[in-house]
Amino acid sequence: MMITLLVLLPLLGFFLNGFYHFSAQARKTEPSVVVAGVIGTIALFAAFALAVVAWLSLGKSGAWDVGIEERLFSWMKLGTLHVEFGYRLDRLSGIFTLVITGVGSLIHLYSIGYMENKGSARYFAYLNLFCFMMLNLVLGSSLPLVFLGWEGVGLASYLLIGFWSGEMANIMAAQKAFLMNRVGDLGLLFAMFIAFKFAGTLDLADLSSYSFKPEVATAFGLLIFLACTGKSAQIPLFTWLPDAMAGPTPVSALIHAATMVTSGIYLLARLNPVMGQSPTVLFVIAAVGAGTALMSAITACFQSDIKKVLAYSTISQLGFMFVACGVGSPETGVFHVMTHAFFKALLFLGAGSVIHALSGTQDIFKMGGLRSSLPLTFWTFTAGWAAILGLPPFSGFFSKDGILHESLVAAHGSRVIFAVLAFTAFLTAFYMTRLYILVFFGQSRLSEGVRKHVHESPIVMTLPLLFLGLAALAGGWFGAPVRFESGHHGGVGEVSPYLIMVISVFIAAAGAFLGYRKYFRSNHSEKTRDPFRVDEIYTVVFGRGTEMVASFCSRFIEEGVFQRILQFSGAAVDLGGNLFKTVQTGSAQGYLLMMVLAVVALVCGLIFGVHGYGN
């Protein structure tokens, strides 16, 4: 029952903090952030400890299909459908579990320093709820349970993006995330219907070994992929993620960088055998991944909000992982999920530390020269910067290189995809250096009021930064812990991984140099721009579109047809109205009498009517 306990611990934390929230409210006091935070952090840290034990118990074999299975109860049993509620921890779900609970506990700890007392119990309750749902997503042994986690993390994300509910803009950002994800969720829902119709099962293990007819595999794969684009913010469902930055920064680090947004990669890796049955699906995944990576990297170069830069960067990095899944090497994608969780969580928490120090300033053109006043933040951020650029020996170097290499040599790799990714890597180095320089180097551009209060963050915030900095530095040395096999070569044939390494380091250096040249001495500020304007287009097409269809239904069909039919006989309505007006002025007894009379009349009518007919 270890896995079950692991999953339930965050749920327990959710209930404890929820109870704490309401009891504080009943006493008309604010909950203490320390108490709430300790409850939340302990719940998750204990889950992490269990996850480590479970991981170790898998043994050293490294075999892909070894797993611990725990069945709890029968959830839905109808006809030939039998959905067990149960968990399964194997290598793939194990890595995700370790990342969720490990990075999760650090971010919980960090939040104790970041959040205020006000609303803190609610905050930690939501954060624990998120972890619970996320664990269901990766550990669930059947698709409906994955779906529970899938929609559950969407809910937690909604609650946390809109956490500061005083601003209506935050609520709208939360709503946008929820609705866009719901569109994606439909993909998973329909994929389940197809799976059940053709394979007769929704169990993940059974499904993975089932071979579908080609066209069914394509339909199933594309629907799964649609779901993944929603959760992992890929084209076409990515515009919610930048808006999701409205939430508290630790939330952005945990949900919108390290864990939830990688669930698409999890699902693709989990269903890889089925995905692989359709070359079309793989091609779409790789193409969309590469396109998203490039497009959002370009957009990131035009952002001036520190969190928005990181958000677009996350979308771009997720695109890399999708490419890995699309070219037929999901293990490299999963490896990048892990290293990305370290360095992107680090970057977000670092950004949070900066924002915290600057009393809420998020515009990078209003920062500058923070290197000396925030030394710990600066050094750990440097580790994150080096990791995302892919400088050796930082973790990103290994995983990003892996993807670049695979995009060329893996079964479905190609030169075009490699070229797109390489250019994206160049842009990544450029916009990250731009951010890094503008925040930490050069002249201070802080306003007077802010400058007085600049301070390094407390230890509960810097400690997680240190741990994550270490992980971002060394996390790649463990190599890809999930390499199934490396014998699948197709694509363009054999290419030396060392050549790729040299190319990629050169590209990163070039991008970084350009960023340095352009921004190191620059004093002008840039306005945020979205070069693709996808968000505006969506607002018009889908937002207004739905409004228009709904208006059409309500004005023309409903009011124009149905309600008019009902009113067709104005005289009849008047008659009825007058009839009831006279009825309404009686006493209770009068009404009752009428009621009884009506029933009696009805019964009599029936009896005599039919009686007569019968004769």
Partner 1 sequence: MEISDSLSFFLTLPLFGMVLSLLIPRGVQRIYAIFASLLFLALTVYEASGILFAGSSELAARLSVEHQLLWLPQLGSRLSLKLDSVSAWFVVLNALTAVIAFSTKGAWYRKNPKLFTSLGFFLLFGLNAAFLSLDLVVFYLAYESVFIPMIFMVGVWGERQKATAVFRFFLMSFLGSILMLVSLFFLLSKQVKSGAGVSSHLSDLVALSSGLEGAEAKLVFLGFFLAFAIKVPLVPFHSWLKDVYNLAPFPATIWMSAILSKLGVYGVIRFVEPLFPQVLGFFQGGLLFLAAVSVIYAALLAYRANHPKELLAYSSISHLGFVMLGVFTLKAQGISSAILLSVGHTLVSALLFFLLSKVEEKKEGLDLLSVHGLSRRYPVLFVALFVAVLASVSLPGTLNFAGEFLVLLNAYPVSAFCTILAGFGAVLGAAYMLKFYQQMGFGTPSSGTSEQVTRGDDLGGFELVLVFVLILFVFYFGFQTSVFLKGN
User: By the 8 A CB rule, do 453 and 348 touch?
Assistant: no
Task: Write out the binding residues for partner 1, residues 398-417 only, by CB under 8 A.
Answer: none
Distance CA 22, CA 127 (A): 17
Binding to partner 1 (CB under 8 A) within 544-573 occurs at 546, 549-551, 553-554, 557-558, 562-563, 565-566, 572-573
Q: What is the DSSP letter of 141?
A: S
Q: Under rule CB under 8 A, which residues in 226-285 are in contact with partner 1?
A: none
Pairwise CA distance, residues 379 & 112, whole Å = 22
Q: Which is nearer to partner 1, 21 or 108 (CB)?
A: 21
Which residue of 576, 593, 601, 604 would you call a contact of partner 1, by CB under 8 A? 576
If the CB atoms of residues 63 and 169 are measured against partner 1, the closer one turns out to be 169
Q: Of 65 and 547, which has the nearer Cβ to partner 1?
A: 547
**Region from 432-440, 475-483, 505-513, 601-609 binding partner 1, contact rule CB under 8 A:** 601-609
**Whole-angstrom Cα distance, residue 41 to residue 29?**
22
Contacts of 69 (CB under 8 A, 6+ apart): 86, 87, 88, 141
Least distance to partner 1, CB of residue 594, Å:
9
Range 193-212, binding partner 1 (CB under 8 A): 193-194, 196-197
Query: Minimum distance between the CB of residue 110 and partner 1, rounded to whole angstroms?
Result: 27
Between 53 and 573, CB nearer to partner 1: 573
Least Å distance between CB 524 and partner 1?
37
Among 2, 5, 49, 183, binds partner 1 (CB under 8 A): 183
Residue ranges in 441-532 assigned as alpha helix (H): 448-452, 459-474, 497-519
How would you classify residue 533: left for phi > 0, otherwise alpha for psi between -120 and 50, otherwise beta?
left
Q: Which residues pair with 74 in a beta bridge?
A: 84
Closest contact distance (angstroms) between CB of 78 and partner 1 is: 5
* Residue number, 165 or 280, with CB nearest to partner 1: 165
Smallest separation, CB 213 to partner 1 (Å):
15
Q: In this structure, are residues 404 and 421 in contact, taking their beta carbons and an 8 Å threshold?
A: yes
Among 499, 502, 598, 600, binds partner 1 (CB under 8 A): 598
Binders of partner 1: how many residues, by CB under 8 A? 72
- Based on the shown chain and the rule CB under 8 A, indicate whether residue 23 belongs to the binding site for partner 1: no
Q: Residue type at 467?
A: F
Of 449 and 614, which CB lies nearer to partner 1 in the complex structure?
614
- Tell me the pairing of strands 67-78 and 81-90: antiparallel
CB burial string 68-93: b at 16+ within 10 A, e below: bebeeeeeeeeeeeebbbbbbbbbbb
Measured between its terminal Cα atoms, the distance across the chain in Å is 75
Q: Which of residues 60-89 bind partner 1 (CB under 8 A)?
A: 73-79, 81, 85
What is the footprint of partner 1 within residues 119-178 (CB under 8 A)?
Answer: 144, 147-148, 150-152, 155, 162, 165, 168, 171, 175, 178
Q: Which is nearer to partner 1, 527 or 613 (CB)?
A: 613
**Which of 253, 231, 228 minimizes the C-alpha distance to 240?**
231
Instruction: Report in angstroms how near the CB of residue 149 gets to partner 1 at its nearest.
Output: 8
28 in contact with partner 1 (CB under 8 A): no
Q: How far apart are CA 86 and CA 3, in angstroms?
A: 10
3-class state of residue 236 by DSSP: coil
Task: Output 59 or 577, the one with its CB closest to partner 1.
Answer: 577
